[in-house]
């Protein structure tokens, strides 16, 4: 099992150029659990994730890993503990799947060395978890969107970090692949104890797969905790501006949001 880490942000303010997006967010990421950041478009959920993953320099506030500021840690050392899968990673043209997954080993390698036995083991394991071993020597340009996404996650897994951030890992995927990816990430969390923090678009899948929810609205953290406590019709109204009822997901027992639109609404629910 992965060791526990204390990852906390304190009074975090961040944004782009002169525009402040994240406003005084303080949070502690539950170790060895799956956390999902939810929020409307442009609420700052992705910016928050990027700031926590040190891709954006905060204007003020602190981000500490086990009591040490992440900006003061050597980048390679931090990269052995904390990994991130960006929303739209860039593929070098013509690279093979195994070589791409192997690039996740960078923080573990020295300057000129080739792959060690450990590197091969980590790459093979990551590819096995994501079920892409057969594709190892194929060119990534030949893969489907769902397969590619698994390759990217495998690259992040090969990094073997204790904490893994994922920025919308299921966007642009069919529902089948979305569920598949979330199942694989849950396996990873249950088997290895990897702490997972991700931004997801789908609130119902978030409620089902998360141990912990962070709800962001206008750059502020408005609610956090277990999905069953956090996801209520009033929170959905506040965060997404949507009228809804929350029912129990018959499959998982987690809360499930049923929107109330303007059409196709039975009289009982007309606002």
Would you tell me which residues interact with another protein (CB under 8 A)? 50, 53-55, 74-80, 82-84, 86, 89-90, 92-96, 98-99, 102-104, 106-107, 109, 111-112, 115, 120-121, 123-125, 127-128, 133, 136-137, 159, 165
* Cβ proximity to another protein, 12 vs 127, nearer residue: 127
* Cβ proximity to another protein, 109 vs 218, nearer residue: 109
Q: Which residue has the tokens 């199942």?
A: 183
* C-alpha–C-alpha distance, residues 228 and 77, integer Å: 36
CB of 120 to another protein, least distance (A): 5
* C-alpha–C-alpha distance, residues 7 and 4, integer Å: 10
The total of other beta-carbon atoms located within 10 Å of residue 27's CB is 19
* C-alpha–C-alpha distance, residues 44 and 39, integer Å: 8
CB of 268 to another protein, least distance (A): 47
Q: With 0-12 CB in 10 A as exposed, 13-18 as middle and 19+ as buried, what is 64?
A: middle
Helices 175-192, 117-129: crossing angle, 10 deg rounding: 130
Q: Which residues make Cβ contacts (< 8 Å) with residue 42, sequence separation at least 6? A: none
CB 132 within 8 A of CB 97: yes
CB of 76 to another protein, least distance (A): 4
* Cβ proximity to another protein, 44 vs 102, nearer residue: 102
Helix (H, G, I), strand (E, B) or coil at 47: helix
* Cβ proximity to another protein, 73 vs 222, nearer residue: 73
CB of 223 to another protein, least distance (A): 27
CB of 139 to another protein, least distance (A): 8
Helix (H, G, I), strand (E, B) or coil at 46: helix
Strand partners for 216: 39, 221
Helix (H, G, I), strand (E, B) or coil at 143: coil
* Cβ proximity to another protein, 76 vs 237, nearer residue: 76
* Cβ proximity to another protein, 11 vs 88, nearer residue: 88
CB of 213 to another protein, least distance (A): 23
The total of other beta-carbon atoms located within 10 Å of residue 69's CB is 10
CB of 233 to another protein, least distance (A): 35
């Amino acid at each position: 099992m992965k060791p526990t880490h204390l990852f906390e942000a304190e009074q975090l303010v961040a944004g782009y150029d002169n525009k402040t997006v994240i406003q005084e967010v303080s949070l502690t990421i539950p170790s060895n659990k799956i956390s999902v950041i939810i929020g409307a478009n442009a609420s700052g959920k992705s910016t928050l994730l990027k700031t926590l993953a040190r891709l954006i320099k905060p204007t003020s506030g602190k981000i500490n890993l086990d009591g040490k500021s992440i900006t003061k840690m050597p980048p390679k050392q931090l990269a052995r503990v904390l990994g991130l899968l960006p929303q739209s990673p860039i593929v070098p043209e013509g690279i093979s799947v195994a070589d791409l997954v192997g690039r996740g080993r960078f923080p573990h390698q020295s300057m000129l060395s080739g792959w060690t036995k450990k590197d091969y083991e980590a790459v093979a394991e990551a590819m096995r978890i994501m079920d892409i071993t057969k594709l190892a020597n194929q060119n990534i340009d030949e893969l489907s969107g769902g397969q590619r996404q698994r390759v990217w996650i495998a690259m992040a897994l090969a990094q073997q970090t204790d904490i893994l951030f994922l920025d919308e890992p299921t966007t642009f995927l069919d529902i089948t692949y979305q569920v598949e990816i979330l199942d694989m990430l849950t396996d990873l969390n249950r088997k290895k104890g990897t702490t997972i923090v991700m931004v997801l678009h789908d609130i119902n899948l978030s409620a089902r797969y998360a141990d912990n929810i962070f709800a962001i609205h206008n750059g502020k953290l408005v609610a956090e905790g277990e999905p069953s406590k956090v996801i209520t019709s009033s929170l959905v109204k506040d965060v997404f501006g949507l009228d809804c009822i929350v029912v129990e997901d018959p499959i998982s027992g987690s809360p499930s949001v049923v929107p109330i639109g303007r059409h196709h609404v039975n009289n009982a629910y007309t606002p």
